[in-house]
């Protein structure tokens, strides 16, 4: 607790998204243990369910809407599209408005929670003379962002933030910041950690393999479907895809739907759509697969599955490779290879004892990813930045 008379650090969190995407859920899970040390104000550039969820945990939320054409510049189009004179003008006005708001709120610190917020929030923080902490949750790499965006973000990382927080070593390595930097892992909510007797207990349906994550090509659901078909086509086993196309990935969803038909597994695959209660979905799964075809920056769903007492198979790169120890608390497979993923699936299907061992150890690993630990990591950065 903060002693009487000592003002908590006033941190203004900036995010351009108010949908319940991974980074936004991570913020929602990170704030509760910070609230007795930090006066948190979240400024969102759109209205959406995140605002309501934050208010429900007692966080002040301010809507500062950003024009749709600026906010929704797609990754593939950035930053050339951002440079049309009209968009640029709107962006500049938004930066100015954000700087004014930071001054009015008397912020001690700005914490940006998304890549676009890192740019406009970084500039606004500089204008308002408030130190900025970038929380980077995306890999700043050519396979994920267009080259000009990579160069822009790397350059900006040297000029705008006082400190950079990354969600994994893998993410940090793509940015190579010259500023103070730290790796702070995203937390898993303690309520979702199953009691030890709940490990591998589940509903009554047939053997079920699940993938949780928004439908996006780089998340690799197509690789999973190929692998699933190799092992289970024509059997009673089921596949659940939990998640929806969130950022204009509807064409990919259609391709997945066509793929299950052409693989002859349409009767076995359930497109569950976006689910608020992911734990209830995980409770129905025997094995959870995470097979992103680009290195996953962090991969909260991997730890969520482990905390739910499910054995996981993940691509052996990026964040999940920092979390999972192959053969101990999960299986790691070479990425982008349906045949090797199929072999791992077959191995787990045929060996309930291995599933049990991995699930028990995975749950132990997940216990280390508490919101308190994340809060401690962030507080250490805040203190350094503010010289306290
Ligand atoms: N998620 C959810 N409902 C869904 C699919 C995903 O709430 O239908 C959540 C999931 O539980 C996880 C987050 O979305 O907490 C995704 O985070 P992750 O780091 O795995 O990926 P990102 O979306 O940030 O790339």
| Residue (of 145, 142, 124, 144) closest to 134 by Cα position | 124
Does residue 41 sit in the same domain as residue 100? yes
Residues 94 and 71 in one domain: yes
- What DSSP designation does 18 have? -
Mutate to test the pocket of ligand 1, among 28, 213, 270 (most ligand atoms within 8 A of CB): 213
- Helix residue ranges, H only, 209-282: 221-232, 250-262, 278-282
Residues 6+ away with beta carbon under 8 Å from 64: 43, 44, 45, 94, 97, 98, 101
Please tell me the predicted confidence (pLDDT) of residue 362: 97
Same domain? 108 vs 45:
yes
**DSSP of 162-179, one letter per residue?**
SEEEESSHHHHHHH--SS
Query: Rounded CA gap, 178 and 251, in Å?
Result: 39
Q: Are 269 and 238 in contact (CB under 8 A)?
A: yes
Nearest to 121 by CA among 139, 94, 89, 148: 94
Nearest to 169 by CA among 317, 22, 375, 385: 317
Return the pLDDT at 207.
95
Domain that holds residue 329: 190-366
**Judgement on whether residues 170 and 198 belong to the same structural domain of the protein:** no
Given this model, what pLDDT does residue 68 score?
Answer: 82
Q: What local confidence, expressed as pLDDT, does residue 301 receive?
A: 97
pLDDT at 204: 65
What pLDDT score does 22 carry?
95
Say yes or no: 381 and 345 in one domain: no
For ligand 1, residues with CB inside 6 Å are 20-23, 25, 212-214, 242-243, 274-275, 278, 298-301, 304
Measured from the Cα of 275, ligand 1's closest atom is 8
Mean pLDDT, consecutive 10-residue segments, the chain of 388 residues? 69 96 96 96 97 97 90 59 79 97 98 97 98 98 95 95 97 88 93 72 80 97 98 97 91 98 98 95 96 97 96 98 98 98 98 96 96 97 94
Q: For 107, phi and psi rounded to 5 degrees?
A: -70, 140
Query: What's the CA-to-centroid distance between 301 and ligand 1, angstroms?
Result: 6
Please enumerate in sequence order all residues whose Cβ is within 8 A of that of 123, keeping only pairs 6 or more positions apart, or say none: 95, 99, 160
- The answer to whether residues 323 and 299 touch, using CB atoms and an 8 Å cutoff, is yes
What residue owns the CA closest to ligand 1's atom 25? 22
- Quick check: helix, strand or coil at residue 23? helix
Task: Please count the structural domains in the chain.
Answer: 2
Residue 178: what pLDDT?
78
Whether residue 120 is found in the same domain as residue 212 = no
């Amino acid at each position: 607790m903060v002693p009487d008379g000592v003002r908590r650090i006033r941190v203004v969190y900036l995010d351009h998204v108010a949908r319940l995407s991974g980074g936004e859920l991570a913020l929602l899970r990170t704030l509760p243990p910070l609230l007795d040390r930090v006066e948190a104000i979240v400024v969102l550039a759109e209205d959406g369910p995140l605002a309501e969820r934050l208010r429900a945990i007692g966080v002040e939320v301010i809507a500062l809407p950003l024009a749709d054409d600026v906010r929704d510049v797609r990754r593939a189009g950035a930053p050339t599209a951002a440079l049309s004179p009209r968009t640029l003008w709107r962006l500049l006005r938004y930066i100015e408005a954000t700087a004014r708001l930071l001054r009015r709120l008397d912020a001690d610190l700005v914490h940006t929670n998304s890549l676009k917020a890192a740019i406009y929030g970084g500039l606004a923080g500089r204008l308002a003379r408030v130190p900025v902490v970038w929380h980077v949750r995306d890999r700043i790499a050519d396979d994920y962002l267009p080259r000009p965006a990579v160069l822009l973000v790397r350059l900006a990382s040297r000029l705008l933030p006082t400190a950079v927080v990354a969600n994994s070593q893998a993410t940090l390595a793509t940015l190579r910041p010259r500023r103070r930097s730290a790796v702070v892992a995203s937390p898993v909510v303690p309520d979702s950690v199953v009691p030890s007797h709940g490990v591998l207990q589940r509903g009554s349906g047939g053997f079920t393999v699940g993938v949780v994550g928004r439908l996006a090509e780089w998340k690799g659901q197509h690789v999973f479907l190929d692998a699933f078909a190799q092992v289970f086509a024509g059997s009673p086993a089921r596949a659940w895809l939990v998640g929806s196309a969130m950022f204009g990935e509807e064409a990919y969803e259609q391709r997945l739907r066509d793929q299950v038909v052409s693989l002859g597994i349409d009767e076995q695959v359930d497109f569950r759509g976006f689910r608020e209660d992911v734990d209830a979905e995980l409770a129905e799964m025997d094995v959870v697969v995470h097979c992103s075809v680009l290195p996953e920056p962090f991969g909260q769903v991997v730890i969520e599955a482990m905390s739910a007492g499910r054995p996981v198979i993940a691509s052996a790169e990026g964040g999940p490779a920092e979390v999972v120890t192959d053969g101990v608390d999960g299986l790691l497979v070479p990425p982008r290879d349906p045949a090797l993923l199929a072999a791992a699936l077959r191995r787990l299907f045929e060996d309930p004892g291995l599933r049990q061992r991995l699930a028990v150890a995975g749950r132990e690993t997940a216990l280390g990813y508490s919101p308190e630990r994340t809060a401690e990591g962030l507080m250490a950065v805040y203190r350094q930045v503010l010289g306290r």
